[in-house]
Structure 1
Amino acid sequence: MSPAADLGRALCIITGASRGFGRALAQNVSRLVQPGSALVLVARSGPDLRTLQAELTESEAGRAGLKVEVVVADVGKAESLENIMRTCREAFCEDMDHVMLINNAASLGDVSKYVKDLSDMAQVDSYLSLNVSSALCLTARVLQAFPQHAGLRRSVVNVSSLCALQPFRSWGLYCTGKAAREMMFKVLAEEEPDLRVLSYSPGPLDTEMQLEARSKTADLSIKKTFSSMFAQGQLLTCEMSSARLMKVLLDDKFTSGDHVDVFDV
């Protein structure tokens, strides 16, 4: 099967879209959808989102008819999901042939603590709400709002991590959240055979989250590893990693529910 030339006339929802990897994803997707498509970009930072919206609206894709909507929201809150879905329904056109959700929003959590120090249930609940519950509930709402029918492709991408598969000392919250999401989307792939589900690990990216990891990680060996990667120029750019994700989606050779690492592409 030859790779697809584009993502079709799509409604694409991207969470955590204002900075870093999410911003790069929005830029790449905008170049790979057909005229008449719509992007719904979600993040907590309004100014950054609106700057990106203006950039994409003024781009070649924007001038060709790409609609770019933004939702300033904390996806960890129920009322935010309502606002996102309202915008998605308004942006969707009946002649669209693809609905894609990219669950990118995430936080590192408190990496200054080991598991034995995580005794504050409110802190843990808050982390899991943003990093696990929101992805599950938003995905469910998108699938309910846009049910399967002839002529409509539906894709769900979970932005994952090596931490979904391997333990990192003092990264208990982050590893737990990523592992939970990984299994959640594997179950979804089993339940919905017509849905294309992918967990993509973008690799060690040069982002604010990576800076936080180098600065605050309690475990000295993990901290040294990330600091060395930065010092030796081994971090990946968001643009390069997001382009590899686009290649995986266009090639469409993965088994639904698979975990694909950037270094496997």
Structure 2
Amino acid sequence: IKANNDNKRTIKSSKTLGRCLCIITGASKGFGRSLVPYILQAGSVVLLVARSGLLLEELKTDLENLTVPLGLVVNCVSADLGTAEGVAKTLEARLKSSLSFLICQSILSFFIASLGAISQFCSFTDPAQVNAYISFNVSSALALTAGVLQALPQRPGRKRTVVNVSSVFAHKPLPRWVLYCTAKAARDMMFKVLAEEETDLKVLSYSPGPMDTEMQEEIFRQMGVRHELMPCQKSGAKLLNLVLDGDFPSGAHIDFFDL
């Protein structure tokens, strides 16, 4: 994948996603937003989901300034995936374009988490606060993935891939980050189980490395360390090449620095 002079990106590979349904949660900013230009392909359907309707509108405006491939459908959904209503709203948006989805060759979903409160373990005495974070970052990913897979089961010629945007902190404890580490660990295991159950499905937990995002800046600020942050597009390029090649065991956790 490379960036052209006109700021458009192309995938340099012998393989392509083909006609694809792509769902990106957390698409309004950061890593989720940086992935969008990579998956704009002719005849595809892209569903961009985020809590902020304003940021999604800004993203939609940016996309309109790009050269849009023929037959591309982009739907923006402002929804809080921490609620049943938000998950239902996202699945309903998928149903509204059911004809387009049915002819897709590939199903590609990216699930991106939020940061959450940063505090000592013993400060989390309110179950409602904990449940709200877990609901948004774990429960919603399970429910939304299950809904999409039910509606779009495997069939000959169809490739389905689910990408969980993970972190090194899914396996490495970090003081004061109990919510974040717990959710990342839970999501990794959740998608490992999915890989075991759905053997025709490619499942990947991808740790994108230290990227130049508000979340990463906050992580390093709280840790009191300095670290060079890379552009999101650099990690996104590696991820898309990895997905296209498919050269990983389903359910694997792969770090940016392993590639």
Same fold, TM-score > 0.5, yes or no: yes
Deviation at 1:4, TM superposition (A): 4.6
Question: Residue type of the partner of 1:144?
Answer: Q
Show the counterpart of 2:19: 9
Are residue 102 (structure 1) and residue 119 (structure 2) matched?
no
Question: What's the secondary structure of 1:122's corresponding residue?
Answer: helix
**Bigger shift: 48-57 or 145-154?**
48-57
1:109-139: CA deviation from partner (whole Å, max 9, x where unpaired): 111x111221111111111001111111111
1:185-239: CA deviation from partner (whole Å, max 9, x where unpaired): 0010000000010000011111111233345x3xxxxx122xx11xxxx112111
Q: Is the 8 A contact 1:198 1:256 kept in 2?
A: yes
Q: Find the aligned partners of 1:49 and 1:40 in 2 and give their Cα distance.
A: 11
Q: Find the aligned partners of 2:140 and 2:103 in 1 and give their Cα distance.
A: 28
Show the counterpart of 1:220: none
TM-score, normalization by structure 2: 0.90
Question: What's the secondary structure of 2:154's corresponding residue?
Answer: coil
Q: Is the 8 A contact 1:76 1:130 kept in 2?
A: yes
Q: Find the aligned partners of 1:126 and 1:14 in 2 and give their Cα distance.
A: 21
Show the counterpart of 1:52: 59
Show the counterpart of 1:194: 200
Show the counterpart of 1:70: 76
Show the counterpart of 1:156: 162
Which residue of the other structure, out of 237, 249, 253, is the alignment partner of 1:255?
249
Which residue of the other structure, out of 234, 238, 242, is the alignment partner of 1:244?
238
Q: Find the aligned partners of 1:199 and 1:97 in 2 and give their Cα distance.
A: 22
Question: Residue type of the partner of 2:35?
Answer: L
Q: Find the aligned partners of 2:38 and 2:230 in 1 and give their Cα distance.
A: 16
Which residue of the other structure, out of 253, 260, 264, is the alignment partner of 2:258?
264
1:76-98: CA deviation from partner (whole Å, max 9, x where unpaired): 11111111111112234232111
Structure 1 unpaired stretches of 5+:
218-222
Show the counterpart of 1:173: 179
Q: Is the 8 A contact 2:124 2:130 kept in 1?
A: yes
Question: Residue type of the partner of 2:139?
Answer: S
The structure-2 alpha-carbon separation of the partners of 1:80 and 1:4, relative to structure 1 and needing over 3 Å to count, comes to: farther
Q: Is the 8 A contact 1:11 1:38 kept in 2?
A: yes
What's the C-alpha RMSD, in Å, of the aligned pairs?
1.4
Deviation at 1:27, TM superposition (A): 1.6
Question: What's the secondary structure of 1:51's corresponding residue?
Answer: helix
Show the counterpart of 2:224: 224
Question: Residue type of the partner of 1:21?
Answer: F
- Higher normalized helix content (fraction of residues): 1
Which residue of the other structure, out of 15, 39, 53, is the alignment partner of 2:46?
39
Question: What's the secondary structure of 1:5's corresponding residue?
Answer: coil
Q: Is the 8 A contact 2:48 2:77 kept in 1?
A: yes
